[in-house]
Amino acid sequence: MIRDNDKLKKAYRKSFLEYVFKGLGLEDFYGWGQTVYSPVNGEIIEIENSIVERNPVNIFHDYKHSMRVTKDYLDHGAASKTITGNCVVIKIDDNVYASLAHLKKGSVKVEVGQKVVEHDEIGQLGHSGNSTIPHLHMQFMNGRDYKIAEGIPFVFKSYEIKENDKWVVVYNKVPKVNDIIRYEIL
């Protein structure tokens, strides 16, 4: 999440210099603790809910942590939760899965085997696992093990995109990397 009119597109409320030199508390990030809803209908097949977030958030410490856990995962077979942190995996259909990762510790509201529908509450946005700032990593894939699965696109039914300082509704598309979008749960 960013402020709509922030030219630097920062995900936090304080100055860049404070972020770099001092670090910021998790509560200084716009998305921290926001409710995460299921983007799809499906069955919960995996959860993790016990990993503590690093606080404060510091670009250098979090980058170093990211490099270490990635190496441990790829080279030494560390558990996938070192990458995903607190997460929920949803089976949508045969060979179609969604992973919602980096959730806040203790916030996951669903259980393995539970059926969910679009817009059901899943948990809260956090900073667990291989995360450099609080955010939601939402990944769609053709298998439940993201280490070997291939990614598949997720098409939003509708969302708004900022174009020339105006919000424009877009239907049945995948947002582009640099798009600033707004999505409302109805």
Same domain for 44 and 134? yes
pLDDT, residue 185, reads: 67
Same domain for 149 and 169? no
pLDDT, residue 186, reads: 59
Residue 9 falls within a domain, yes or no? no
Same domain for 80 and 161? no
Same domain for 111 and 183? no
Residue 58 falls within a domain, yes or no? yes
Residue 174 falls within a domain, yes or no? yes
Contact of 97 with 147, CB cutoff 8 Å: no
Same domain for 61 and 118? yes
Same domain for 107 and 174? no
pLDDT, residue 79, reads: 84
Residue 1 falls within a domain, yes or no? no
Segments in the chain below pLDDT 70: 185-186
Q: What is the CATH number of the domain that holds 53?
A: 2.70.70.10
Same domain for 51 and 127? yes
Same domain for 124 and 179? no
Q: CA-to-CA distance for 155 and 132, rounded, in angstroms?
A: 26
Q: What is the pLDDT of residues 91-117, one digit of tens each?
A: 999 999 999 999 999 999 999 999 999
Same domain for 176 and 133? no
Number of domains the chain is built from: 2
Q: What is the pLDDT of residues 158-176, one digit of tens each?
A: 999 988 889 999 999 998 8
Same domain for 135 and 161? no
pLDDT, residue 145, reads: 86
Q: How many CB atoms lie within 10 A of CB 58?
A: 18
* pTM (two decimals): 0.90
Contact of 104 with 86, CB cutoff 8 Å: yes
Contact of 171 with 165, CB cutoff 8 Å: no
Same domain for 49 and 119? yes
Q: For residue 185, what are the domain limits?
A: 155-186
Read out DSSP for 82-111?
Answer: HHH-EEEEEEEETTEEEEEEEEPTT-----
